[in-house]
Each structure stands twice: as C-alpha cells, then as structure tokens.
Amino acid sequence: MSGTSAAPVIEWSERYEVGIAAIDGQHREMLDIANRLIEGLHAGRDHDELVETLRELARCAEHNIATEERLMQEHGLATAHHRDEHRRLLESIWQFDLRLDPGGLDESVRFLREWLLGHIDEDDRPFAEQLRSRGVS
C-alpha cells in the first residue's frame, strides 16, 4: 500500500438526501465521522483514538435513530421494520471490529459505506417520502 495514496472516503451525494432537513444533516454528520474513522485507519492512528471516533459515530447514529423514530411516532407511521433495522444497524456498529491491516481496512470501508448509505437508500428514503407527504420538511 503506497503512503501517497489518498484515504478512501465515502463521498456524499445529493442522491442520498431524503428531503427532511434534520435527517439529511444527521446523515451528513455520520458520513463525516465515518470518513474521519476511515482516514484515521488509513493513517495508522492510535487504536484508542479510532475506538473513540467509532463511539462518536455510534452516538451520532443513536441520535439519528431517536429523531427518526420520534418522527415516525408523531406522524403515525408503521415503524416495526424500520425500528428492527435500526436495532440491527446499532448492533452492527457496536460490534464493529477495527481491523488495522490492509485487508481489514478495505473491509472497514465497505462496512461503513454499506451501513450508512445502504440504510439511507433502503429504509430512510421510503420513510422520508411518507413524512414529506405529511408536510414534514
């Protein structure tokens, strides 16, 4: 692995916006933290520092989940599947193993990308459409 290569980052795109300002802001914050974690892994940062960044990501995810679930409840949306998915995602991130070898780094980047962007596409987008139809922006 070359020392001059740029750290792999997860690029934000308008395609990931769901049209609910609070949720989009929280998703972008999670992406920023995930990128800091990836960059820290790439740069060989101290394991304790990486673990603290991972904890920050988990706290941010918990805040996002609380926001989404509050909105679901306030607007009477069916929530069972989405809540189950939230629990699965939180369990995944809390059990995430920081692997520092090159193969582990690629696996870490893939996990974080799929975890965040996959959830936005598969679960949050349909939920946000329901909210927008009820006047939430």
CATH (domain of 27)? 1.20.120.50
What are 137's two structure tokens?
Answer: 């922006």
Q: How many whole angstroms separate alpha carbon 105 and alpha carbon 112?
A: 11
User: Is 3 within a domain?
Assistant: no
Is pLDDT of 111 > 90? Answer: no
User: Is 61 within a domain?
Assistant: yes
Q: Specify the pLDDT at position 58.
A: 84
- The answer to whether 53 and 89 have CB atoms below 8 angstroms apart is no
For residue range 55-103, what is the model confidence (pLDDT) as tens digits?
Answer: 898 899 899 999 998 998 899 887 787 888 888 888 877 777 666 555 6
User: Is 124 within a domain?
Assistant: yes
The boundaries of the domain holding residue 94 are 20-133
User: Is 11 within a domain?
Assistant: no
- The answer to whether 54 and 96 have CB atoms below 8 angstroms apart is yes
User: Is 110 within a domain?
Assistant: yes
User: Is 5 within a domain?
Assistant: no
User: Is 2 within a domain?
Assistant: no
User: Is 111 within a domain?
Assistant: yes
Q: How many domains does the chain have?
A: 1
Kindly report the CA angle at 11 between 58 and 72, in degrees rounded to 5? 50
